[in-house]
Every structure is written in structure tokens, then in C-alpha cells.
Homo-oligomer: A and B are copies of this chain.
């Protein structure tokens, strides 16, 4: 009998609830703090910025949270996504391991980011919010939110880091096509933006400045709210739809993963695929490994430390408990823009602290070698971010070969690379660089946040 290549779930089997891991964690994450008082921030303090339902989800310890029909309807444009047996990659590696991947690249914007963009737009809409703001670096989150905002009739302003705005005009065009307004940040539409432009003429912008602009814009108007595409608990919650589908599909495939792997930026796709499997560990004592693959140039989980730190570089957000490199840490300009973030979300950070998730750091060249092998054996060009998960998968598959084990590996293909072909071009023409981080750089930026501790 032929092995099935794709394991497809019928729409009727799409999950009706997101999984909230806070219900099952042995140690809950420490609370976010108000940076001024250093006391746990209250829901009310967050209301000028976020929709109420999202704040509730952020703090909820309910195990299952219902996915509204309106959200499920929009999910159905691309969900359930296929689970694929990577038989071509297995053959290329000549490994006894069985490799599966969840293909989130089939989303119309090419990545998993829509999974949270849709509910964030929806919960804002039903609260009567009329406009959203957000920041975007590489543009994946901005693109996804543009689709969702348009669907629910919300205006959207995206503050895009100036250097990306100039270097990635395609991404901007995608957001414009979906109807969003995109500003190069720092812009002249906000006070902080104008201040930054005056203070640093010719600046190429930063994610920190862009966040500040988007937050300022939301604070100005009670009908405008801010949204974020990773790091926060409610984003992890929405993304669990990935793992909940994969759980059913692995069962249909008649296999169970020994190890689940995803790339790691702020944690949204990693949490999305791994947390539902972590539940099996909590509930049934399953022996399963969860591996986060991060860039060697931004190694918060492997070489960072656990502290309270700001989510942005400017220090406008609440203080979050996280594995961090320090909010002033400047990651090298690797092509995996979505992984260039100094800290890990609170949930994953706590799990890492408790020894429940592992992490590996991988250099840029190894990730692109993995991406090319995957493209040539499976036909899909992976996003630079996703190549980290593939490289970690290949390491596991080769270990399985060495040990003669039929290890079952599941990884998340968070997106395709068709809008990031300059990265592959650089690799193929030998121009791609490997970046490492001297320990003293990490020590230095971590030293700076020690004063922030409560």
C-alpha cells in the first residue's frame, strides 16, 4: 500500500476550541509588570491599548477557549492545513526517521500569522473598535493583519521599519493590495515619529520605534487599538490551532511524534505547534521532546537569561518575564527577519525554565543548506525563518540514522519563501554570511536590564 503523502482534515474536523496551556502549566508565568510601579499590571491598564476580549484571553486560565464561528469561517479559506509526510527529504537523507511537517505556507499570505490576525481583528470588531494599528518588520504579520482587518471592515495603519519599507517594496505592495495604510517608521504622522526623525535624521528605523508609533496612534483614539503578532499569551493561544490539527492528523497517519520542532522568534509558531503536544505530557505523561530552533545570531533561549525585560527597545511596554538578550541587543541582519527579536514570550520562557522545552541555535548557512535540500526534495521553498526548523529536523534525522532508530519527527513549516528570494540568491551566489555573537555582547546588554528587576 502507498503511504499517503498529505494527511488532509475535512473542514468539519477543524478544532472548535483553542488550547490554553496556562491551565496545565505546573508553574504559571510570572505576571507582567507596570514599568512605573513595578507592580502586576491590571486589565484596566491595558484597555486603552488592547481589545477587552484579548486582555481576558491573555490572563485566562480556562483550558479550552471557544473559537467564534466568524473566526472559523475565515480560517476555512486555508484551514485545515495539510500535514505532509516528507518522504522526499527522508529519501535524500537516507534516514530511518519518519518526517512529517505541518504546511502553514498554504495560507494566502504564505505564513501562519493569519491564525492570530483573524481573531485579533474579530475581537476588536465586536467591541466596536474601528481602526487597528500595528508594527511590522519583515512584513509577514502586517500582511496577515491586512487581510483580516479588511475582512472585518477595520481600517489599518501599519508602521513598517524604514529599512524594510525600502528594501522590501513587495511586502508593502501586498499590504496596500489588501487595503492597509503603510508608513515607513519613523514617520511624520506621530509625535514620537517626528521626535525620532528630528533627533536621528536619516535613521533607518527599528522595531522599537515602530511599536512606539503604533501604540501612540492607538492611545490617541478610544476606537483605535494596537495589535501584536507574537510574544503574548493570546497570540500563542490562537496559534494552537496548528498543533490541534496536527494532533488529529498524526493520529490519522497512525504515528505519534517523538520530537516536535519549530523555529523560534517570539514563539508564535513554536507555541502553536508544540503546546497541544505538551498537553499530552501533562495529562498522559507522554515522552515527547519539544525543540525550538533559533538563529545563532539571536540566541535568547540558548544563551539568553531569564529576567524581567521590555518587549520593545524603547521601553514603552509592560515588563515581561522572559529569556532575553536584553532589549538593547542588536541582532545581526540575517534574512530570517521574523526571528530577530531579543526575547521569548512569557509562556515559553517559563516552560524553558522548567526544563519542558529544549532549544538549539543554528548558523545562517546551515539553515539555507537545509532550505535548499528541502526545496529540491519536497518542492517547496521554505521561508528563511522556517529553514531553522528544517535544519534542526535534519540534525535529528541524521542522529536517528546514526542510532538506527525510526524516530518520528514533526516540524512546522511556518511559511514559504517566495517573497524572500533575495535571501536564496545571496546564498547561491556565495554572498551569505554566518553570524555569531560574542559572549561579552550578550553579557553587556543583559547587564543593562538588571536594574529593571522588581
Contact = CB atoms under 8 A, between A and B. Distances in A.
Interface in A1-26: 2, 4-6, 8, 10-11
Contact of A8 (B2, B8, B77, B428): B8
A150 interface: yes
Contact of A106 (B106, B169, B421): B106
Interface in A236-288: none
A425 B173 CA distance: 5
A39 interface: no
A172 B424 CA distance: 10
A54 interface: no
Contacts of A380: 77, 108
Contact of A6 (B11, B177, B372): B11
Nearest to A371: B177
A381 interface: yes
Given A376-B179, A379-B108, A422 B170 contact: yes
A443 interface: no
Nearest to A381: B177
- Chain copies in the assembly? 2
A382 to B, nearest CB: 10
A110 interface: yes
Contacts of A108: 378-381, 416
B11 A375 contact: no
What is the interface residue range for chain A against chain B?
35 or more
A176 B428 contact: yes
A450 interface: no
A8 B5 contact: no
A333 interface: no
A424 B6 contact: no
Interface in A415-454: 416, 418-419, 421-422, 424-425, 428
A352 B281 CA distance: 63
B88 A418 contact: no
Given A147-B379, A422-B170, A428 B11 contact: no
Contact of A151 (B172, B178, B379, B416): B379
A230 B173 CA distance: 30
A73 interface: yes
Nearest to A380: B108
Contacts of A109: 379
A419 B150 CA distance: 22
B178 A375 contact: yes
4 A-B pairs with least C-beta separation:
A5-B76, A170-B421, A173-B421, A173-B425
21 contacts: A4-B11, A4-B76, A5-B11, A5-B73, A5-B76, A8-B8, A74-B379, A77-B379, A77-B380, A108-B416, A169-B421, A170-B418, A170-B422, A173-B421, A173-B422, A176-B424, A177-B421, A178-B376, A178-B381, A179-B376, A418-B419
Given A6-B76, A110-B418, 11 more contacts: A6-B77, A8-B10, A77-B379, A77-B380, A108-B379, A170-B421, A170-B425, A172-B425, A174-B418, A177-B375, A418-B419
